[in-house]
Chains A and B, each alone.
Chain A
């Protein structure tokens, strides 16, 4: 039995339960609604006559003989080549994560071990760049990219994403590195390591949780980015998020909206899995630097 002090009055229990249920509905309902609706036809999901059609799927049954249909998915993935966007997203995310982690770990380590004053100002500058909306950077990039004929390619978007991402990864890794005592570097150096070997053999193995957490965040940023990818990539090279936006932009063709809905579900599922697997790292990442500045 719980101690008397820990026992809560029934009314409070009920109230908190009700609150959680309501909150869960508000927060999670759109996702479930989208998931459910993605297996219907457009006229059901966006029915003007009767919203319950979206639940029962009358028109879907009329068209395909079953209340559920994979037509949206087929249309998106095969007909509209959403797989290409998925592949592009994968390429972009992979290279953004790898590049920003490489620079971030080296830079964050160097900054955390440097005793100079400029470290503080560098980090403040990084924070300022991080605070700026990405679109402000993109508009500056556009003219030279057009001029040099770099516009539209994946590497261009990767470079820009890394540039936007870097201040944040640097900041985050710096605070992780600061938690690792300097004694560790020093004992490695006395034991016979060069500075780089100390980093490679001693610090990085201890840093894995920090690297994974930062990598996750930079993955999420690249994965979810719209401003950069929408502005900088041509139609061939689009990643998933601008592709979904493109589906939505052509609503006058029937079915296209359903492609978007199906694509949204397809793009969300990996995120769900990722967050569920790495929830611990993500939480620690959110609180990292909370007490240290």
Chain B
């Protein structure tokens, strides 16, 4: 059992704030993803949980023990590093076995546990190789095996996939998800890749400049972003955000007129997702009418981009849809798909 509680955890270097009042409870067996752009404090948060970085404020509780003053080795965690952190002088077998050895686990069980961990990540045939003789994906699996061999209370993963090529990333991602499901260990996973976050997480924490922006399930974060930062960060392409004014439920901006909204009158930011919108059939359902800025063929869809509301706005159309640049296109943006944000703070406006 390892519930992790972070109570107002902060990290400051001089006057620079790395992590500001991080307050979160991570349930036992939860897969939590810390997501944010580089420098947002997600790795620092994880390193504070690991004990590699000292928290300058707040309390970190693993299980029912305050671990602030404990060495990493006493926190019963295992970590997978971005650069793998394999021991280059040991072969794969010894690498996986190392945590058991230093922690003086009964040597009689070593072989069995190493083998089991190696089997879980399909490494059995590489056990006698040195890390230098392995590919990136294999190294990453060694790092995973080394983390799971001890069956710790908490897994910490610091961008474990970012050094792999795209194809390998997908398969290793699936493997991690499956491993976590099988081992049922609380996992904290740091990434800047929102697709990783969406696919892996039970809950996602979106961070920016050391501050939590939103905590929620991937669907919540995707469907109801708490502010414009989350809206723009999650999704590919990111949510379209237009500046304009709302008066009497009608949003207007250059080339844009969307009716049927509920919100306060005045300047406002309106967002919608490219895949929710569509090309208009006729002038009655046309909310945006503007010349095409660019058209991109994605294979499964065609992306049409126009300049409207002071931004580039993209809409996904049928994959057979074709249009020339500079031709005027009508786009259908029903009010139901629109998200309203405060024009200054960026906070979500509806209830």
Contacts and interface: CB of A to CB of B under 8 A. Distances in A.
A183 B73 contact: no
A131 interface: no
Interface in B65-104: 71-73, 77-79, 81-89, 98-99, 102-103
Given A183-B81, A197-B102, A201-B102, A190 B89 contact: no
A193 B52 CA distance: 12
A183 B72 contact: no
A190 B88 contact: no
Given A186-B85, A206-B89, A192 B50 contact: no
Contacts of A184: 85, 87
Contacts of B71: 189, 194
Given A183-B81, A197-B102, A201-B102, A189 B72 contact: yes
A65 interface: no
A191 B102 contact: yes
A186 B81 contact: yes
B83 A190 contact: no
B73 A190 contact: yes
B255 to A, nearest CB: 51
Nearest to B99: A191
Contacts of B78: 190-191
A140 interface: no
A191 B88 contact: no
A202 interface: yes
A181 interface: yes
Given A183-B83, A184-B87, A206-B89, A190 B98 contact: no
A206 B143 CA distance: 18
Given A192-B99, A192-B102, A187 B81 contact: yes
A206 B78 CA distance: 22
Which residue among B84, B89, B102, B150 has the maximum number of chain A CB atoms within 10 Å of its CB? B102
B339 interface: no
State which size class the interface on A falls in.
Answer: 10 to 19
Contacts of A188: 87, 98, 102
B146 interface: yes
Given A187-B146, A193-B73, A194-B73, 12 more contacts: A181-B83, A184-B85, A186-B85, A188-B87, A189-B52, A189-B71, A191-B99, A191-B150, A201-B102, A202-B87, A205-B87, A206-B88
A142 B52 CA distance: 48
Contacts of A205: 87, 89
A187 B73 CA distance: 10
Contacts, number: 64
A138 to B, nearest CB: 41
Interface string A119-130: 000000000000
Contacts of B79: 186-187, 190
Interface string B248-259: 000000000000
Contacts of B87: 184, 188, 202, 205-206
A191 B52 CA distance: 12
A192 B73 contact: yes
21 contacts: A181-B83, A183-B81, A183-B85, A184-B85, A184-B87, A186-B52, A186-B79, A187-B146, A188-B87, A188-B102, A189-B51, A189-B52, A190-B50, A190-B77, A191-B99, A191-B103, A191-B150, A192-B99, A193-B73, A194-B73, A197-B102
Nearest to B52: A186
A181 B84 CA distance: 11
Which residue among B84, B85, B150 has the maximum number of chain A CB atoms within 10 Å of its CB? B85
Contacts of A201: 98, 102
B132 to A, nearest CB: 12
B102 A190 contact: no
A184 B79 CA distance: 12
Contacts of A202: 87
A187 B90 CA distance: 14
Contacts of A189: 51-52, 71-73
A197 B103 CA distance: 11
Contacts of B146: 187, 191
A197 B102 CA distance: 8
A156 B103 CA distance: 43
Interface string B219-245: 000000000000000000000000000
Nearest to B89: A205
Contacts of B156: 190
A193 B72 CA distance: 8
Contacts of A197: 102
A197 B150 CA distance: 18
Contacts of B77: 190
B61 to A, nearest CB: 18
Given A186-B52, A187-B79, A192 B103 contact: yes
Interface string B155-174: 01000000000000000000
Nearest to A190: B79
A94 B50 CA distance: 42
Interface in A164-220: 181, 183-184, 186-194, 197, 201-202, 205-206
